[in-house]
Amino acid sequence: MPRYKLTIEYDGTGLVGWQRQANGPSIQAAVESALAAITGADIPIRGAGRTDAGVHALGQVAHADLARDWRPDVLRDALNAHLRPSRIAIVLAEPVPDTFDARFSAVRRHYLYRITNRRSPLTLEAGRAWLVKRKLDAEAMNAAAQILVGRHDFSTFRDAECQAASPVRTLERLDVVRQGDSIEIYASARSFLHHQVRSMVGSLEHVGAGKWTHQDLRAALEARDRRRCGMVAPAAGLYFLSVDYPKLSRDEAVPEGRDHSKQPGN
C-alpha cells in the first residue's frame, strides 16, 4: 500500500486538538473523514505530535497508507476540497517509503509561541497570540531561557497528567525575540513533555515582568516540582511549526515505478 506524508496547517480555535475525541471536532478526525470521502475506506493517520485544544500548526505532519497511487497534487487538492469549510489545510502531499513514520521517524520538532505585548486588546490576532499587557523585558527572558537549554529533568514544566515514561528531555533551542509589540519564543527538541512549552513560556513571562529573577527560574527547574512552575501560557499562542526527518538514502527512495509526478490525475 503506497504511503503518503501529509503536511498540515490548521487554526486550532474551536477544536479539541489533534487527536480524535468524543467531546468535539479534532484535526485527526477531519483529515480521516476527508480521506474516507475520496477513497471510500476508513484510513487511520498518525501525526508527528499531539497538539492540545486551541493550539495551531503551520507544519504538522502525518502519514497515511492508501490502497492505490495518487498524484501528490491531486491528493492534496481532493483532501482540501473535503476539508472545507474547516480551517484545516493539506499544504503538501508526498509519497514516502513504507519505513517512514510521521511520529517515530522524527528527529526534531519545532514550536513557536507568540506573545503580543501591549495594552490594547487583540483584534486580528485574537485567538492567535497571548496578550500580555504589562511590559516584558524580552532580553531578560532570552537570557533566562538559556538556563533551560540542554538535557534536564523537566518535571517542573510537565503537566501532572503527562504520560511520558521519563521527565528527562534535551531542549536544543529556546530563543526569545522581540519585534515591536510581538515577542516570539522558538523551542526545538526531539520530543516535548505534555504542556512543556506552554509551562516554560509562562515562567519566562514572570522573568520578563520582573516577578522572577534568572535564579528563580533555575531554582524552579532544579526543584523538579510541578508546584514551582509559573503559570501555563494560554494555548492560543502556541504553533507547531515543523518537523525534521532524516534524509532518505538512495535505497530508501520511493521506487521508480511510483514516480507520481509523471502519473495522470486520479
The total number of residues shown for the chain amounts to 266
DSSP 21: B
DSSP 154: -
Q: How far apart are CA 107 and CA 177, in angstroms?
A: 24
Helix (H) or strand (E) holding 113, with range, is strand 108-117
Distances (CA, A) of 144 to 122, 204, 206, 214: 27, 7, 11, 5
8 A C-beta contact, residue 71 and residue 266: yes
Catalytic annotation, residues: 52
Residue 12's nearest CA partner among 66, 54, 60, 42 is: 54
Residue indicated by cell numbers 477544536: 15
Residues paired with residue 41 on neighbouring β-strands, in sequence order: none
Residues paired with residue 242 on neighbouring β-strands, in sequence order: 110
Q: How far apart are CA 92 and CA 77, in angstroms?
A: 9
Q: What is the largest CA-CA distance in the chain?
A: 62
Helix (H) or strand (E) holding 89, with range, is strand 88-96
